[in-house]
Chain A
Amino acid sequence: MASTSPPILPLDQSLHDVSVEIGRVPLRFPARVPWLIAFLFSLGLLLLFVVSVTWLLTWGVGVWGLNIPVNWAFAIHLYVWWLGLGHAGTLISAMLLLMGQDWRNSLNRFAEAMTLCAVVCAGIYPIIHLGRPWFFYWMFPYPATMGVWPQFRSPLEWDIWAVLTYLAVSLLFWYIGLIPDLATVRDRARKRGWQVFFGIFALGWRGSAHHWARWQKAYRTTAAIAVPLVVSVHSEVSLLFASGQIPGWHSTIFPPYFVLGAAFSGFAMVAMIALVVRHFFGLKEIVTDRHMDVLAKVLLASGLMTAYGYVFEVFDAFYSGDGREIATTYDRFFGLYAWSYWGAILFNFVPLQGLWFRKVRRSPVLLFMIGTSVVIGMWLERYMILVTSLYKDFLVSSFGEYHTTFWDWGTYLGTIGLFFVPFLLFIRYIPSISIFEDKEVLAREKREAGRG
């Protein structure tokens, strides 16, 4: 890192302080009461999810508001939204690792955990949307007695492989990055139960130079592969839309537009989680104001790129001269669901402009509010893309409205529980910030300061 920039971690702490500060979180948990409240609340939402899915399995997808013509509705809208939230974890972790951006070392671990939980929520949606979810294994190529095979030319088949690969790679990347820290916590644990728990999952890591050399190679290789993976996964999601002829979807701008929007919403989510984690765990020396400042700048940049996508989508529609494309654009501006279009613009891009100012970027409250606004804005955007295109397409006979039902919302709020229950368990029981990578940064900064 350029030595001109001020150190991102305070230099008055030692390597040992880093072990203590982060390692104490799982071993002597600092925020029991807020954690317990959040956990019980999340468990409640998870229960709602179980009830909603049971209801769905009992009565079929008709309990949701989807129908012809709006037959994708909440299920695919939220699939895209959740998956997008997850992408920032991989981008922060992998892309910034390869670019040598030290500041990612305080954020990557829980960002990756966020990815994992979000991918689970995303992946569940296409499955419960299947109509007969208990046959989801028909998507795997196995020698069935019926003599049929899955159809690899179909986007549904693209979906399952993209999501499964993404889940598996995220899990492996997260886990091998975690092994050295599990060893640190194992060596600091004093209770037998913890020693055994961390001892097993640390796989007997010793920090040998031979191991580190191979580990670094594998870690960086995985990171280098994970970046194109993220781009491919969300491009694949956008192709589900773009490969159909529906006006408002059938456009080549979709893959980059979707990938950027995904990164945008994900960075907002990472900023929010970082603020909450450091507040409740007292980790201000590890996740500093400068970290939040840089993260806010990235959020602003990805937001502006997403805004460019909006501009180009409109330009594209008019430039095509296609009557239906233009009509769909008018429907977005003035139609029945215009609130979702203008809502997306308002929530995504208006509060975002505050991030041009350093004071706003460094204010936890304002940054958290802007992050919330972006997550809501992207929710509206995914809804808008789906519903405004589907409710009116080529023929008047296939015009129709879409209204959500209680079970749409029950399932959606339930997935929030599905996200937070494993995530809260993670921040409770596993070092949620990378110990060894922060030591690496601290050691380098100290050396530079010493030369200084």
Chain B
Amino acid sequence: MADAPVLGLLGEFGTADALLDAAKRARAEGYEKLDAFSPYPVEGMAETLAIGDQRIGWLAVIGGATGIAATLLLQDFVNRDYPLDAGGRPLIALPAFFVVDFEIMILFAVTFAIIGMLWMNRLPRLHHPLFGTPRFSLASDDRFFLYIAADDAKFDAEDTRGFLGALGAWTIEAVRA
């Protein structure tokens, strides 16, 4: 596999602060196609890498609205389709409907947000070239990795490797397809 094309370079760091610092300097250097890998979410990393995805919040809102609207329509329909007169009480009784409306609103909001998150993250994807990199398994333990993609405009196999070294990476590995 040594001849497979290089997808990018992966630099290993010992702490979250070192990773954050390295990511900031890489951004300042002009690198655009960066990713960082860490055992837990690093505070400030999303801002540094300019990841501003507001879609999940909106998906929850859309899901909730869909859920409550669909339930209200259904409740209205079934009570008209099969009217059951219980002591002359109103057929379309919003206070009695509302418990189920609320629950299904929540069910849809959560399902939309979570399925949306997995879909946007392109998960499940059981294999990925990164897993072929020997040290990458430590990203779920106690190491922090900065990844610079080879299709970045500023990427150059030699210079970028040198740059990662200058950032203080403990090891630098090439990720191959």
B97 touches A153 (CB 8 A): yes
Taking A153-B96, A221-B109 as known contacts, 19 extra A-B pairs with beta carbons closer than 8 A to each other, sorted by chain A number, are A15-B39, A19-B141, A151-B84, A169-B110, A184-B140, A187-B140, A203-B118, A203-B124, A203-B125, A204-B128, A207-B39, A209-B38, A213-B45, A214-B121, A225-B109, A232-B106, A436-B40, A439-B39, A443-B16
A150 within 8 A of B: yes
B interface footprint on A221-255 (CB within 8 Å = 1, 0 otherwise): 11001101100110010010000000000000000
User: Complex: how many Å from CA A153 to CA B82?
Assistant: 13
Chain A minimum-CB-distance residue to B138: A187
B39 touches A218 (CB 8 A): no
Which chain B residues border A428 with CB–CB below 8 Å? none
Which chain A residues border B53 with CB–CB below 8 Å? 213-214, 217
- A residues 21-46 near B (Cβ < 8 Å) are none
* B84 to A: closest C-beta gap in Å: 6
Once A205-B123, A206-B139, A443-B16 are accepted as A-B contacts, the answer to whether A218 and B102 lie under 8 Å apart by CB is: no
A residues within 8 Å of B by Cβ?
14-16, 19, 141, 147-153, 157-158, 161-162, 164-166, 168-169, 172-173, 176, 180, 183-184, 186-188, 199-200, 203-218, 221-222, 225-226, 228-229, 232-233, 236, 239, 435-437, 439-440, 443, 447
B117 touches A165 (CB 8 A): no
* A254 to B: closest C-beta gap in Å: 14
User: Complex: how many Å from CA A327 to CA B96?
Assistant: 30
A153 touches B39 (CB 8 A): no
B142 within 8 A of A: yes
Partner of B100, one of A158, A184, A210: A158
User: Complex: how many Å from CA A126 to CA B15?
Assistant: 52
A153 touches B86 (CB 8 A): yes
Q: Which of B38, B106, B127, B128 has the most CB of A within 10 A?
A: B106
B100 touches A229 (CB 8 A): no
Which chain A residues border B82 with CB–CB below 8 Å? 147-149
B121 touches A228 (CB 8 A): no
Which chain B residues border A172 with CB–CB below 8 Å? 110-111, 114
Partner of A150, one of B46, B78, B138: B78
Complex A-B: 23 CB contacts under 8 Å: A15-B39, A152-B97, A157-B100, A158-B100, A162-B103, A165-B106, A173-B110, A176-B117, A188-B137, A203-B124, A203-B125, A206-B139, A207-B140, A208-B35, A214-B53, A214-B56, A214-B121, A218-B113, A221-B60, A221-B113, A236-B103, A239-B99, A435-B39
Which chain B residues border A440 with CB–CB below 8 Å? 40-41
Partner of A218, one of B100, B103, B116, B142: B116
B113 touches A222 (CB 8 A): yes
Say whether chain A's binding surface is mostly helix, strand, loop, or mixed: helix
Once A161-B104, A162-B103 are accepted as A-B contacts, the answer to whether A168 and B111 lie under 8 Å apart by CB is: yes
Chain B minimum-CB-distance residue to A23: B141
Which chain A residues border B46 with CB–CB below 8 Å? 209, 212-213
Partner of B117, one of A168, A208, A215: A215
* A349 to B: closest C-beta gap in Å: 31
B37 within 8 A of A: yes
User: Complex: how many Å from CA A222 to CA B124?
Assistant: 20
B166 within 8 A of A: no
User: Complex: how many Å from CA A236 to CA B110?
Assistant: 19
B107 within 8 A of A: yes
Which chain B residues border A213 with CB–CB below 8 Å? 41, 45-46, 51, 53
A209 touches B49 (CB 8 A): yes
User: Complex: how many Å from CA A203 to CA B42?
Assistant: 21
Once A152-B75, A168-B107, A187-B137 are accepted as A-B contacts, the answer to whether A207 and B37 lie under 8 Å apart by CB is: yes
B57 within 8 A of A: yes
B16 touches A217 (CB 8 A): no
Q: Which of A166, A172, A225 has the most CB of B within 10 A?
A: A225
Which chain B residues border A199 with CB–CB below 8 Å? 126
Chain B minimum-CB-distance residue to A226: B110
Partner of A211, one of B39, B60, B121: B121
Partner of A16, one of B60, B89, B131, B142: B142
User: Complex: how many Å from CA A208 to CA B120?
Assistant: 13
- B residues 58-96 near A (Cβ < 8 Å) are 60, 74-75, 78-79, 81-82, 84, 86, 89, 93, 96
A209 touches B36 (CB 8 A): yes
* A245 to B: closest C-beta gap in Å: 13
* B155 to A: closest C-beta gap in Å: 18
Partner of B51, one of A149, A210, A232: A210
B172 within 8 A of A: no
B17 within 8 A of A: yes
A221 touches B56 (CB 8 A): yes
User: Complex: how many Å from CA A211 to CA B116?
Assistant: 12
B57 touches A217 (CB 8 A): yes
Partner of B125, one of A168, A204, A233: A204
User: Complex: how many Å from CA A354 to CA B113?
Assistant: 43
User: Complex: how many Å from CA A346 to CA B53?
Assistant: 53
User: Complex: how many Å from CA A436 to CA B17?
Assistant: 17
Once A153-B86, A153-B97, A217-B57 are accepted as A-B contacts, the answer to whether A183 and B140 lie under 8 Å apart by CB is: yes
A152 touches B78 (CB 8 A): yes
Which chain A residues border B17 with CB–CB below 8 Å? 447
User: Complex: how many Å from CA A150 to CA B49?
Assistant: 51
User: Complex: how many Å from CA A199 to CA B140?
Assistant: 13
* A296 to B: closest C-beta gap in Å: 28
Partner of A203, one of B49, B89, B123, B139: B123
